[in-house]
Amino acid sequence: MSCKVVITGDHDGRRLDRTIRSIWPALPLSAIMRSIRKGEVRLDALRAKDAGMRVRSGQELYVPWEEPHRDETPPRHWGAVPVLWRGENVVVLDKPADLLVQPDVKGGDSVVTRVWSMFGSGGLGFSPAAVHRLDRNTTGALVVALSGEALRELERLFKERLVAKRYLAIVAGALSEKGLIDAPLLKDETNNIVRVGGGKTARTRYKRLSTDGELSLASIELLTGRTHQARVHMAHIGCPILGDRKYGNIEINRRRHAEAKRPLLHAYELGFPRELSGPLLELAGKTFTAKLPRDMAALLDERGWEIPS
């Protein structure tokens, strides 16, 4: 048995083997590679000789398997995620605390499964995909691609550091006026903890917005995108994020437990460059702002602090 599918724009420019695995996710890679070697996979009228060749939108893909099964049933409806903006190819969300970006089990609660239930699963072999990550208890602006073309372009923008990411955090101590933290980070995969030294280059720029000596409001710009970067770097300079049980100040966290039940870190702004085209034209020059969540806003109100425009 064999079948034909037409390559959609979601897969334009992707490797052949990755495209096939997306459309037939249950098919073993060994079976894919064997069929390519035997000349059983064709693009238009030509045999595909290389698993790494790039496919193009509109090409006819012939394979020696049954037609792909497309799961039209959305995952359990866990609820919605607040939307800051939605375009044709991209949605920008305001992620709440205590929510994973990706599910830890199939169909489990997460941002991407909620987006799937809100907007659908996309084209053949493509489901909504988060372009960057926020920790489970970090709130704020998060970008999810609704098409494969947008996903690839967004991944390029983030990789090339062309998207401006500004965070707000409430930290322990009297933070200095401003600074640049340049300290490599090494991730311990076994214990899911990150340490300074001996790892990948990591750079964070910060600015103090307010302080009363005990706590400070910080604006944080991540110049690189490492796991737990803001949390580890702020702890490294002696001003850990309030409520951070992993890297924070135990005594201050204990005193402030009622107000800070999580690390008070918020992805406040995402800014996109003006020179965008194709599926990202709709994002050109836009900046998205996610208002502070209640726990952080309450602490600012208590102190009379404001966020400078």
Q: Are 282 and 90 in contact (CB under 8 A)?
A: yes
Question: Which strand (E) or helix (H) includes residue 93?
Answer: strand 90-95
Widest CA span of the chain, in angstroms?
72
Q: Are 54 and 14 in contact (CB under 8 A)?
A: yes
Where on the phi/psi map is residue 85: left (φ > 0), alpha (ψ -120 to 50), or beta? beta
- How distant, in Å, are the alpha carbons of 45, 46, 51, 208 from that of 31? 21, 20, 12, 56
Among candidate residues 177, 186, 269, the one with its CA nearest the CA of residue 226: 186
Distance CA 158, CA 142 (A): 12
User: What is the distance in angstroms between the CA of the first residue and the CA of the last residue of the chain?
Assistant: 62
> Tokens for 96?
């709440």
Polymer length of the chain: 309
Q: Where are the beta strands (DSSP E) in 137-214?
A: 139-145, 164-172, 178-182, 185-188, 193-196, 203-211
Q: What is the set of active-site residues?
A: 135
